[in-house]
Amino acid sequence: MSKRFDLVILGSGSTAFAAALRAAELGKTAVMTESRIVGGTCANRGCLPSKNLIEAARIVYESAHPRYPGLAPAKMGIDFRALVEQKDEIVHGYRKKKYGSLLGGRISIEKGHVRFADPHTVEVDGKQLFGEKILIATGSRPTIPPLEGLVDVPFITSDLLTAGEDAGFRDLPESMVILGGGYMALVLGEMFRRF
Ligand SMILES: Cc1cc2nc3c(=O)[nH]c(=O)nc-3n(C[C@H](O)[C@H](O)[C@H](O)COP(=O)(O)OP(=O)(O)OC[C@H]3O[C@@H](n4cnc5c(N)ncnc54)[C@H](O)[C@@H]3O)c2cc1C
């Protein structure tokens, strides 16, 4: 027996929430599905945590490189674990405040990995969800390139800022090699360089 919705959304990131809210405004029912953490990349491991730590790194950098001739450079001590903990607290607080009040009523969420059963039905954690429409909003994740030897060494990806998952990154490395030179590499590279 499947639960019926006007809109079934795969994922619970920014795209999913925007669609679910619009559906609710139109008087429709919507359900999101999520295999990781509710809120997706931006809130949990992307925009929010990165901007929080990037700002801390900026303060460290500007103390060492003051813009005014009358200010002497100062080297700040860095407790990276404490910085990560406050970042995690901010993410958890945001999640509670923002998503707690949105869910319920016309918008609900089912946790688990989703798969299609037929063109209008998906299965999540043993439950069947029927959607008049189905929206795929599963976002993206870092590609692990087929590089020889990579499977034999520990490595991190741009998912490193995740809060509440095992992949969370807690210690500042002494040095770092970044494979890739896109905006993610630049913005995270600058942050680590400044720390
Ligand atoms: C470090 C970093 C910094 C960033 N900074 C910015 C920024 O400053 N500004 C900006 O605009 N963007 C930024 N981004 C990009 C931004 O986070 C993404 O573009 C945005 O989150 C994508 O939203 P989405 O809803 O499409 O997907 P996501 O937020 O990724 O959500 C998709 C969700 O679907 C879930 N999912 C996938 N497959 C399944 C499945 N089979 N079953 C159930 N659930 C599934 C995933 O677990 C995920 O939670 C940043 C990203 C990173 C990594």
Q: How many domains does the chain have?
A: 1
Nearest residue (by CA) to ligand 1, atom 3, is 46
Mutate which of 12, 47, 178 for ligand 1? The one with the most ligand atoms within 8 Å of its CB, which is 47
Nearest residue (by CA) to ligand 1, atom 16, is 42
Mutate which of 122, 138, 165, 188 for ligand 1? The one with the most ligand atoms within 8 Å of its CB, which is 138
**Spacing, Cα 43 to ligand 1 middle (Å):** 8
pLDDT tens figures, 88-128: 999 999 988 888 777 777 899 999 999 999 999 999 999 99
* Per-residue model confidence (pLDDT) at position 102: 73
- Residue 12 maps to which CATH number? 3.50.50.60
Q: Could you say which residues of the chain have pLDDT below 70? A: 167-168
Q: Quick one: angle between helices 47-64 and 183-194, nearest 10?
A: 40
> Is the CB of 158 inside a 6 Å radius of any atom of ligand 1?
yes
Question: Among candidates 144, 107, 101, 92, which has minimal Cα distance to 12?
Answer: 107
Across the chain, what does the average pLDDT equal?
A: 93
Nearest residue (by CA) to ligand 1, atom 12, is 47
Report how far Cα 157 is from the mean position of its chain's Cα atoms. Answer: 12
User: What's the domain range around 141?
Assistant: 2-194
* Per-residue model confidence (pLDDT) at position 40: 94
> Is the CB of 87 inside a 6 Å radius of any atom of ligand 1?
no
* Per-residue model confidence (pLDDT) at position 168: 63
Report how far Cα 87 is from the mean position of its chain's Cα atoms. Answer: 13
Angle among Cα 153, 158, 160 to the nearest 5 degrees reads: 75
The minimum-distance atom of ligand 1 relative to the CA of 41 is 29
**Spacing, Cα 13 to ligand 1 middle (Å):** 6
Whether the model pTM is above 0.95: no
